[in-house]
Amino acid sequence: MARVLVVGSSNTDMVARAERIPAPGETVLGGGFVRTAGGKGANQAVAAARLGADVDFVARVGQDVFGEAAVNDIAATGVNTEYVFRDCEAPSGVALIFVDARGQNSIIVAPGANARLSPDDVESARPAFERADVVVLQFETPLETAGRAIDLAKELGRRIVLNPAPVPSLPAGFLSGIDVLTPNEVEAAMLLGWPLDESFDGVKAARALLNLGVGAAVVTLGPKGAVAAFGGQTYLIPPIRVSPIDTTAAGDCFTGALAVALAEGRDLAEACQFATFAAALSVTRFGAQASLPTRAEVERFMAETT
């Protein structure tokens, strides 16, 4: 079985739907509201577990009702929560998410205990690193913690998938040695210092990201698919046509699925194709973790679509 370790955030998502996302200073009457488990790290861990991987999760939550519910929800999907630490000095993280009629979203995150995930927590989880095939990271926890996780994964010879979201100010060379970088087009532009306008070219961006020292760069382009670059090769991954309802966890689904496929020994192009199908299926459902598909659902979707 593929073994995936995710180090990252756990949040409680407060999701409100409206015809459009409010402008600054504006109040918009909306429709439905739901509270659900989220956080990029937790989303990616749950995505990987539902797709058939043996998953460990390293995170920090508060000693509150949100933290208890989040851990229970994650554990119910089969994720090992042994290394989800309870913090008595900070609340659990919360994300406020607004979703418009087109399924696009705007998010504010109050990190809470996520901001206290420490390098020592990472070190405590060494046994999980030792049994992992692929280690997955994001940037909703402190940069020094992500850095320690990267160093430990490298020390143990584990493959590293980094979803650089949200993009922080990175020291020179921080991304060197990352096996697979998975930004969306906004994050790719920020990492490269490029404007995100009509001149943005996903193929050029993926190739340029290799200059940061990563082994491969996979830039997700939403409804336009994705592009992967590694060595002297570039692959265009065509989009899967669906009618989106909510894109909240699409990128997390993609990263989790990619990690599973790589852990199973698939090559990068095949792994990206699998991840694209999983992410496309996720946007046809409402919510973050609630939208993440199972392996059987993705395989059936692939058979019906191809």
Is residue 139 scored above 90 in pLDDT?
yes
Domains of the chain plus CATH, in order, are 3-9+39-89+116-305 (3.40.1190.20)
Q: Is 73 part of the annotated catalytic residue set?
A: no
Among 100, 120, 252, 267, which one carries the catalytic annotation? Answer: 252
Q: Tell me, what DSSP letter sits at residue 214?
A: -
pLDDT of residue 108: 86
Residues 6 or more apart in contact with residue 163 via CB below 8 angstroms: 40, 44, 136, 137, 138, 182, 183, 251, 252, 255
Per-residue pLDDT, averaged over 72-76, amounts to: 95
- Residues 28-49: b if buried by 16+ CB within 10 A, e if exposed: eebeeeeebbbbbbbbbbbbbb
**Residue 34, pLDDT score:** 84
Residue type, 283: V
* Higher-scoring residue by pLDDT: 103, 1: 1
pLDDT tens per residue across span 198-209: 889 999 999 999
**Mean residue pLDDT across the chain:** 94
24, 27, 57: which is closest to 289 by C-alpha? 57
pLDDT tens figures, 8-63 = 999 998 889 899 998 889 999 888 898 888 899 999 999 999 999 999 999 999 99
Per-residue confidence at 95, pLDDT binned at 50, 70, 90?
A: confident
Which pLDDT tens digit goes with each residue over 246-271? 887 899 999 999 999 999 999 999 99
